[in-house]
Amino acid sequence: MESSAAAWAAPVADAFEGNFRERGDVGAAVCVLIDGVPVVDIAGGDARPGLPWQHDTLVNVYSVGKAIIATLLLQLVDHGHIGLDDPIASVWPEFATGGKQRATIRHALTHRAGVPAIAERLNDHHLNDWVHMADALARTPAWFEPGSRIVYHTNTYGHLLGEIVRRVTGQEPGARLAAVLAPLGLGDEMYIGVPTSQLGRCADVIWAPSSPMGAIDADVLDTLEGDGAMVARGYFNPRGYSSHDLVNTTAWRQAQVPSTNTHATARGVAGFYAALLDGRLLSPGLLAEATQVQASGPCPTLGEELAVGLGFVPTSERRPLGTSARSFGHFGTGGALGFGDPDRGVAFGYVMNHVIPRWQSTRNRALVDALYRCLP
C-alpha cells in the first residue's frame, strides 16, 4: 500500500487495511486534509487485474458527484447570475412545459423539481449526447407538482443542474468543472467525462454479486404506472443510467452524467471539500445555507426518509459524518464518500471500486470512525 500519513493518523491506516481483510475492498484510496494540510493519503489494492491502485487512479464515484454539480450551480447563485427561487425556466425556457413552470432552482437542488425520471424511451447512446438528454428532460411532464414532495433524482439530477449551468455559462458540465478545478490545482483529480488521454488511469468497477442494479427491459418499463414507473424509469431509462453493464466502457467514462459518473481520485474529493471549507468555492453564508436541511420526507426512490440541503447531505444520526453537527457531504452508491467538517477543518475523500450497494458502508464508516478517534 502507498501511504503518507501523519503518525497520529495510524488508526486510519489500520482501518484502511482492515477494509481489505474484512470488509471487501479490492482497490481503494482515502485522503484527509485538516485545515488544508494532508494528514492521511493512502492507496492500495488493484485498480484492474495486474494494475495496482495509485494515488492518481480515477474511479466512478457515483452520487458523490451530486455535490460537485450542485456546487457548480451554487457558484452561479453566489455570483448573482441566478437566484435560488428563480424559476428554472428563467434560464431554460423549454423546461416550462408539463406542469414544470413553477419549478425553481431551489427545487432542483433539493430533489423536488418533479423530474426524477425521463418519460420518453431513451437508448444508451443518448448518454453521450448532452443536448438530447437535456431536451428529453425538458419535454418530460412533471411526475408530481414541483415542491410538493422529495423524490431523489438518482440520475436526472446531473442533467437538470448541469443544463442550468450550461444555459448560464455556455459550458457543458465537464468543461465548467475543469475551469473551476484548474485554479485549485485539482484539474487532474476529477472529471465529468474522462478525456481520452486519462482513460488509462481509470479503475474497473466491480459490482457485488448481490447487487439489485441489473437493468429492467424497456418493455417492462412501459407496463409500470405511478411511482413504480417513476422510480424504475429514473434508474433504467436509458438502460445504462444505473446498470453496471456500461460502467467500465469508454463510452460511459466519457459521457457526462454528473449525478452518476463523475470520476475522481480520493485526493480530488478531499481537495474539493477543503476548497469548500476555506471559501475558495462558495461564500461562507451560502455554504452554511446549502449544508443545512432544506427539505425532508419519505422518498420512494430510496425507500426511506431523506433529508437534504442544497445538493449536500447534512450529517445525521442515521448517516453520521464524524461527530460535528455541521458536517456535510455526499455518499456514492457502493461506499464512496466525500465530506467536510467546518468545526474540525476536516476534508475527507474515500473512493473504491468494489461496489457493495447502499450509501453508508461499513468501509467508509470504519475510516471515518478511526479518523475521529485520533483527532486531537
Within-domain flag for 149? no
Within-domain flag for 330? yes
Q: Which three cell numbers stand for residue 215?
A: 437493468
Within-domain flag for 140? no
Residue 328 sits at φ, ψ, to 5 deg, of: -150, 155
DSSP assignment letter at 190: E
> What are the pLDDT tens digits along the chain (376 aa)?
554 445 568 999 999 999 999 999 999 999 999 999 999 999 999 999 999 999 999 999 999 999 999 999 999 999 999 999 999 999 999 999 999 999 999 999 999 999 999 999 999 999 999 999 999 999 999 999 999 999 999 999 999 999 999 999 999 999 999 999 999 999 999 999 999 999 999 999 998 765 555 556 666 777 777 898 999 899 888 988 876 779 999 999 999 999 999 999 999 999 999 999 999 999 999 999 999 999 999 999 999 999 999 999 999 998 899 999 999 999 998 899 999 999 999 999 999 999 986 666 899 999 999 999 988 7
Q: How far apart are CA 253 and CA 196, in angstroms?
A: 9
Q: How far apart are CA 289 and CA 78, in angstroms?
A: 12
Q: Which three cell numbers stand for residue 254?
A: 466519457
First to last CA, the chain: 25
Within-domain flag for 89? no
Cis peptide bond N-terminal to 52, omega within 30: no
Q: What is the CA radius of gyration of the chain?
A: 19
Within-domain flag for 93? no
Q: List, in sequence order, every beta strand (DSSP E) within the chain.
A: 2-3, 27-34, 37-48, 51-52, 59-60, 190-191, 206-207, 263-264, 295-299, 304-308, 313-314, 328-331, 337-341, 346-352, 354-355
CATH of the domain at 283: 3.40.710.10
The structural domain count of the chain equals 1
Q: How far apart are CA 232 and CA 220, in angstroms?
A: 10
Q: What is the pLDDT of residues 110-121, one digit of tens each?
A: 999 999 999 999
What number of H helices and E strands is found in the chain?
Answer: 12, 15
Say what percent of the chain tops pLDDT 70. Answer: 94
Question: Pairing state of beta strands 206-207 and 354-355?
Answer: parallel
User: Which residue type does 1 have?
Assistant: M
Confidence at residue 4, expressed as pLDDT on a 0 to 100 scale:
47
Which residues have a Cβ under 8 Å from the Cβ of 36 and sit 6 or more positions away? Answer: 274, 278, 345, 347
Within-domain flag for 328? yes
Within-domain flag for 47? yes
Within-domain flag for 163? no
Q: What is the pLDDT of residues 156-214, one digit of tens each?
A: 999 999 999 999 999 999 999 999 999 999 999 999 999 999 999 999 999 876 555 55
75 vs 79, 168, 356, CA distance in Å?
6, 11, 33
pTM, whole model, 2 decimals?
0.95
Residue 8: which domain range? 2-64+255-374
Q: How far apart are CA 349 and CA 272, in angstroms?
A: 9
